[in-house]
Amino acid sequence: MKREIPEVVGKVAAKDKKRILFVCLGNICRSPAAEGVMRHLVETRGLTDSFELDSAGLYGGHAGELPDRRMRVHAYQRGYNLTHHSRPVRMSDFDDFDLIVAMDHSNYDRLRGLAPTVEAQEKVVRMIDFVKGFPQLDCVPDPYYEGAAGFELVLDLLEDGCVNLLDNLSV
Ligand code: 4NP
């Protein structure tokens, strides 16, 4: 699968406030980690006022929970403190955010299916499209049933992809 920066990113880059929602299945592993990595980058670059960041899940079964303990531990070892509480995706997210970043194909297809308008559909993009390394992968894989290496891989992918996403949004 060829990776390309989606066109909508250019439109979001032109906005004073860029509102980004990261989405996975449970909102306890990948998307809260993506939110944490991006928040850290935005703060490091002094861009906090230009961004609104959040994350959500397509499966609501973990609503209210902190990220999975394994995800928190691996993230903390790299300097990220994940404090988000899981919440399900809601229809208002398609209005409230400019960019909705899906972690895998299933997340992407389901979000595109839920989007109420063509404009909302175009806000849905894939995290992997921003990842420069890892050419063998076509998504950010679900680490839930994996060991430590699965969580480390998620963080490697997110650190790579978030830098490129932010570079494309702050031109
Ligand atoms: P996430 O990982 O989508 O990266 O938060 C998962 C967390 C929980 C479940 C699946 C994936 N689950 O089935 O409960």
Share of the chain above pLDDT 90, in %: 98
| C-alpha span between 88 and 112 (Å, rounded) | 16
pLDDT digits (tens, 9 = 90+) for 6-57: 999 999 999 999 999 999 999 999 999 999 999 999 999 999 999 999 999 9
pLDDT digits (tens, 9 = 90+) for 96-116: 999 999 999 999 999 999 999
Neighbour-count burial of 60, counting CB atoms closer than 10 A to its CB (0-12 exposed, 13-18 middle, 19+ buried): middle
The residue to mutate among 22, 23, 37, 59, having the most atoms of ligand 1 within 8 angstroms of its beta carbon, is 59
| C-alpha span between 103 and 123 (Å, rounded) | 14
Whether the CB of 71 sits within 6 Å of ligand 1: no
pTM above 0.95, yes or no: yes
Q: Which two tokens stand for residue 38?
A: 């991006």
Q: Is residue 171's pLDDT more than 80?
A: no
| C-alpha span between 155 and 150 (Å, rounded) | 9
Active site residue 24: yes
